[in-house]
Structure 1
Amino acid sequence: MANRLSGKVAIVTGGGAGIGEAIAKKFAQEGAAVVVAGFAEDPVQQVTNEILASGGRAVAFQGDLSHEATALACVQTAVGQFGKLDVLVNNAGAFPAAEELDKYPVEAFEYMVKNNIYTTFHMSRAALPELQKTRGNIVAAGSEAGQMGEPMNTPYGGTKGFVHAFIKGIAGEQAKNGVRANCVGPGPIDTAWTHKETGPMTSKMEKQTVEGVPMGRRGTPEEVANVYLFLASDEASFVTGAIYFVDGGVTISKSSSGAEVSSDLKKEPDGELNLEHSKDGHTEIRSQDAGHMMGRSPQ
C-alpha cells in the first residue's frame, strides 16, 4: 500500500458511487482514514466495508450535507473517529436533467443549487476550523461545464462556475492559515451521468459528448481520483486556487475531433481500484428533496 496520504484524515462527500467511490478508495489505498459521506440511498456503507476489507480505514456517514447541522455532524464524525481532519473533498453533486433553458424544470435547477452549491458551502464552512488546525486542504468538484458552459444543461454549468469562484476565494483568504483549496474539473467520465440508460442524456447527446472529447473516449473515475490524490497530498504543497481539468482535452477542443480517434486509442485504461459502484448513484430528484424545495423541513 502506498503512503502519499499516510496519517491523513479525509472526508469524501458523494463517496458512495461514481467518482466519489474512486476517490475514497484511492485515498484509503494511499494511507488516509476516510469518512465516506453521502445519502443513505447510495452505497456509502458498501464502499466503506470494501475499504475495510482491503485493509484500509474508513467510516460511513449518511445524511443530507446541504444542511448546516448535517455538515457539522459529518466533520465531527471525522474528528471523533480519527482525531482530526486534513482533507475535505467536496465531490457531492447532482445532474438531474438535460433540457434547453426555456424548458428546463425549475425543480431540477433548485435541486442542483441544493446539492452542488449548498453542500459545498456548508461542508467547507464546517471543515475550515479543523483544517486550520492541521494546515489541511479542500479539493472540490468543478467541471469543464463551469469553464465553458453546458448546452442543454446551462444551470449545471452555472453551479460549477460558482464552485470554481468559491474555491478560489477560499484559497485567497485561507492561505494565511496554511489551508489550500483547489478544484478538479472533470469532463465526460464513465459514470451513470454520461450514459443514456442511467442518466439524463439522450442517445444523441451521449454520442456528441464522447465525440467532443479530443481523446475520443470518456475518462474513468480512477483517472479523476488520481488528480484529487495529487492535489490533496503534500506533493501539491505550492498549489492553491487552481482548477485541474481532467477532460481529455474538452476545454481546448473546437470540434468533434474525438470522432477521428482510432478505436485502439479510445480504449479506457485498466485501473488498480476495484470499483463496484461507478454506475451507481441517483440522477433523478428524490422525494425528500422535493419536499425540502417546497419549504418543508427535512425529516
Structure 2
Amino acid sequence: MITGNRLKDKVAIVTGGGSGIGEAICKKFAQEGASVVVAGFPEDPVEKVVKEIQKEGEVALGYTGDLSVMGEAESCVKLAVREFGKLDILINNAGVFPEVNMLQDYSEEAFDYMVKNNLRSAFVMSKAALPELHKTKGNIVSAGSEAGKIGIAQNAPYGGTKGFMHAFMKGLAVEQAQFGVRCNLVGPGPIDTAWTHASTGPMDSKMVKTMKEATPMGRRGTPEEVANVYLFLASDEASYVTGALYMVDGGITVAKGGVGSQADSSMKDQPDGELELKHSKDGHTEIRN
C-alpha cells in the first residue's frame, strides 16, 4: 500500500531497477506515490520487482532491454509516456562493476563493458528523456560514486567512469536549467549489495575487510539508505538543488586510515528500514554479451 505522497502523481523511470540499489529506489518511489517503470537487462529480476510493487497496491511496470542502445532508451521513455501520460523523473542508476585489478592487468573487455553500461546508458537515456522532462519541468538523478570522487586503487577504470558521470551531470544541470530541469547525483560508498561481498562480486575478502575499516561508520550502507537520498533529490523538496553530488558513503571519502573500528556501536548496526527488499544481492557482476 502507498504510505507517502512525496512523489504523488509523478512518473519515474529507474534504470538498473531490478536489483541492488535500483530495487530499493523503485520500491521507495512507488511507496511514495510514483508510477514507476522498472528498467533493466532481460536477465534481471525486473518482473519480480514489478509484481512485488503491485502486490502492495502500488503502480509499476517493467521494461527490459539494453539501455545503452538509443532505440531501446527511446522505447523505454515512450512506454512510460504511453502508459502513464508523461515522465517526471529519470533515475540513471544502471551500472556494472565487472572487475577489480591493477591497471596493468585490467582487461579491455571489462573497460569497454563499463563505458557501455556506466556511461553510454546514462547518455542515451538522458537524451531520450529530456524532451519529455522539458514538458513536466522534471529532473534527472544519476549514480555517482565515492570512486568517482577520490579514486580507488585496483578500481581505477570504474572510478574514471564515475568521475565522468559527476562532470556530465553538473554540465547538464547548468544547460538544462533554462528548460526547468534539475540534474543531480547520488554518490554511494560501500553498500550492502552483490558488489561488496567476496562471494558474489569481484572483491576478495581482504578488500571487503579494508573497505569496512576505512568507513568511519564501520559498516556497509543499505540500499534503502541510498534510496532515501534519491527520493529527496527527485522530490519537489529539492526544488533549489541542482548540480549537486550527495555522498551516501558512511564518511569514507573524508576518512583517514582504518577509522571504522572506532565507530560507536550505534553506527555499526544497519537500520532495519521499511522496504521488503528481495534482490539486493542479485545485481550481476559478470560481463554479459
Normalising by the smaller structure, the TM-score range is over 0.9
Residue matched to 1:78? 80
1:143 to 2:145 alignment:
yes
1:53 to 2:55 alignment:
yes
Specify the SS of the correspondent of 1:185: strand
1:209 to 2:211 alignment:
yes
1:190 to 2:192 alignment:
yes
1:37 to 2:5 alignment:
no
1:265 Cα shift?
A: 3.1
Write the distance in 2 (CA, Å) between the matches of 1:116 and 1:246: 19
Specify the SS of the correspondent of 2:74: helix
CA displacement 1:222-266 (0-9 Å, x = unmatched): 000000000000000000000000000011111110022254531
CA displacement 1:115-158 (0-9 Å, x = unmatched): 00000000000000000000000000000110000111100000
Specify the SS of the correspondent of 2:267: coil
Q: Aligned residues: percent identity?
A: 67
Write the distance in 1 (CA, Å) between the matches of 2:138 and 2:237: 13
Write the distance in 2 (CA, Å) between the matches of 1:152 and 1:262: 30
Report matched runs for 1:240-279 at 5 Å.
Answer: 240-279=242-281
Specify the SS of the correspondent of 2:101: coil
Write the distance in 1 (CA, Å) between the matches of 2:266 and 2:136: 45
Count of residues in Structure 1 that have an aligned counterpart in Structure 2: 287
Report matched runs for 1:59-138 at 5 Å.
Answer: 59-138=61-140
Amino acid at match of 2:112: E
Write the distance in 2 (CA, Å) between the matches of 1:16 and 1:270: 21
1:199 to 2:221 alignment:
no
Amino acid at match of 2:202: P
What is the aligned-residue RMSD (CA, Å)?
0.7
Amino acid at match of 1:107: E
Correspondent of 2:175 among 169, 173, 176: 173
Name structure 2 gaps, 5 residues minimum: none
Name structure 1 gaps, 5 residues minimum: 289-299
Write the distance in 1 (CA, Å) between the matches of 2:140 and 2:266: 36
Write the distance in 2 (CA, Å) between the matches of 1:153 and 1:111: 14
Specify the SS of the correspondent of 1:265: helix
TM-score after normalising by structure 1 = 0.95
TM-score after normalising by structure 2 = 0.98
1:227 to 2:229 alignment:
yes
1:166 Cα shift?
A: 0.5
